[in-house]
Amino acid sequence: MLGATLYGDVQDVAERLAEETRRARRRGDELLIAGGEPDVRVRGPGRGGRCQELALRLARKLSGGPPVTALCAGSDGRDGPTDAAGALIASDSLESAGLGDAEVERALARSDSHPLLDSLGGLLRTGPSGTNVADLALLRIGAGEPTDA
């Protein structure tokens, strides 16, 4: 349990979560759980939300490393002005889809994570939950994660 660590700039949050994932792997931990709401500065006309941007940034930070699957979602079932609660993405999702850093950077520069994650099949669509506690990030560390997220 990382507690309320999802606060601050989304780039910094992604970096902290990636580092915590590396530490957890060394300790032999298999799951990290964090809550909060990262800050995202909207930089373009794209579609996405805090959780989708965090998931995409995490996938980029964890790419090329050992297997990790990350679920980033809003507890209310909504992430920004989209139909998704967030995203489920694996450390090899971008590589498996043949997406390079330039494509990911273009999406992030336009605040347009939703279409890219949708093309990967990584969006989590739950519908409204009727509850709004915080955004959640769950990171599963180790072998056996799905690679199609």
Residue 23 lies in a domain: yes
Predicted confidence (pLDDT) per residue in 85-122, tens digit: 999 999 999 999 988 888 999 999 999 999 999 999 99
> Looking at the domain assignment, is residue 117 inside a domain?
yes
Instruction: Answer yes or no: is 4 within a domain.
Output: no
Residues 5-28: tens digit of each pLDDT? 788 999 999 999 999 999 999 999
Query: What's the domain count of the chain?
Result: 1
59-63 long-range contacts (CB < 8 A, ≥24 apart) are 59/89, 59/90, 59/91, 59/93, 59/94, 59/104, 60/14, 60/94, 60/101, 60/104, 61/14, 61/15, 61/17, 61/18, 62/18, 62/21, 62/91, 63/91, 63/92, 63/94, 63/95
Q: What is the CATH number of the domain that holds 88?
A: 3.40.1480.10
Report yes or no on 148 lying in a domain: no
pLDDT band at 143 (very low <50, low <70, confident <90, very high): low
Q: What range does the domain containing 127 cover?
A: 10-141
Kindly state whether residue 149 falls inside one of the protein's structural domains: no
User: Does residue 1 lie in a domain region?
Assistant: no
